[in-house]
Chains A and B, each alone.
Chain A
Amino acid sequence: MASGVKPRVKVPKTAAAGDTITIKTLISHKMESGQRKDKEGNVIPRSIINRFTCEFNGQSVIDVTLEAAISTNPYFEFESTVPEAGEFKFTWYDDDGDVYDTSKKIAIG
């Protein structure tokens, strides 16, 4: 699944210290549920992203456990406090051991 997995995140470029910001994330992934069968009637094995985390300067904002009932191309929206300038780090963990990550800097201003 490692090919073609593309994370997208939406974070404001600046905020005032102590501000609340809204973050949205989306990643391309089939989220194969393990419930479907192929044309020969064999169960297609589960292959999903099972965990998503967002950290800011090393401190946790949210840590999500995903099950097979999360839709294809997982989407999350949540709110973070911005205590200081720094960097958000977003990480997605795949069943197959792959890890996808991306970062976004935010300035105080």
Chain B
Amino acid sequence: MKFKAMTAIAALVISTPFMASADADDDQLVVNGEIEMITKAPAPAHLADALDEVISGWHMRSDETQEMQADDFDNPAMIFVEQAQDDWNTVMGTKDKSCASCHDNVEDSMAGVRTVYPKWNDAKETVYTMEMQINDCLTDGMGADAWKKSGAKMARMEALISVQSRGMPMNVAIDGPAEATWEQGKDLYYSRTGQLDLSCASCHEENYGNRIRSDHLSQGHINGFPVYRLKNSKLTTPHGRFKGCVRDTRAETYKPGSAEFIALELYVASRGNGLSVEAPSVRN
């Protein structure tokens, strides 16, 4: 294990000067033959000093993995979306309500919602992730128990809601009342953590397109989250992935739902402004 990690470090150190970058491919992602995804876009203004173009992680994957995302029947994540559709129509809690009681048809009521999350919540005076909004609905609106942060039920509901915005460009607000949280997230993005002393930027800004061991590093966007990972055959949320990344730097991680990960989610989402909502995407 130790040896593997050292090899990984060596690979990282060597890769920058010597390795030809195995760049993103030029394939086009069209889901079900009809939803045309924006998988490459001019970088948002706030990234002007760092990147020219933002590129979906879809371009970094093999043809086989890419194809799995191009058809809703081949995409295993859609199993979970169907389960969430059942949840949407299930009466829960003391108020005898389902999600549909207030929001009717998910196709209509949730169209576009995913593109603006995380976003400032005026009433609560804080930045809200979609997870926080779902849990507010459950506890306050329905009199039900909150779902586990980044748990399976939460992930599949986020996937169902995200599906209604597929193809639409991400457009989270980073100014106004959200700015302080966004700045906190930006600080976290560039802060090195753990024994390996890596920041998010070490891999996903300075080395995207290069390989970390045999893996093709992406720019780390979350427009495809929740993501179905072939590795564990289930949906992973942004906070779940952040936790894995921080752990892999050999640091104590923040918890899903923590203030740090909420800020980081806002910042990382904003780096992908302009890319289509792809969720639920398929990655390795």
Contact = CB atoms under 8 A, between A and B. Distances in A.
CB–CB under 8 A between A and B in the complex? yes
Size range of the interface on A? 10 to 19
Interface string B44-86: 0000000000000000000000000000011010111011000
Contacts of A47: none
Given A71-B233, A73-B233, A6 B82 contact: yes
Best-surrounded residue of B82, B233, B234 (most CB of chain A within 10 A): B233
Contact of A8 (B73, B233, B234): B73
A10 interface: yes
Contacts of A78: none
Interface in A19-76: 24, 26, 28, 71-73, 75
Nearest to A72: B233
A28 B73 contact: no
A4 B76 contact: no
Contacts of A75: 74, 76
A26 B83 contact: no
Size range of the interface on B? 10 to 19
A104 to B, nearest CB: 13
Nearest to A25: B73
A107 to B, nearest CB: 20
B233 A26 contact: no
B59 to A, nearest CB: 24
Contact of A10 (B73, B76, B233): B73
Contacts of B73: 8, 10, 24, 26
Interface in B244-276: none
Contacts of A71: 233
A75 B76 CA distance: 9
A24 B83 CA distance: 19
B153 to A, nearest CB: 11
Best-surrounded residue of B79, B82, B83, B233 (most CB of chain A within 10 A): B79
B38 to A, nearest CB: 27
A6 B76 contact: no
Contacts of A26: 73, 76, 79
16 contacts: A4-B83, A6-B79, A6-B83, A8-B78, A8-B82, A10-B73, A24-B73, A24-B74, A26-B73, A28-B79, A28-B83, A71-B233, A72-B234, A73-B76, A75-B74, A75-B76
Given A6-B82, A73-B233, 5 more contacts: A24-B73, A24-B74, A28-B79, A28-B80, A28-B83
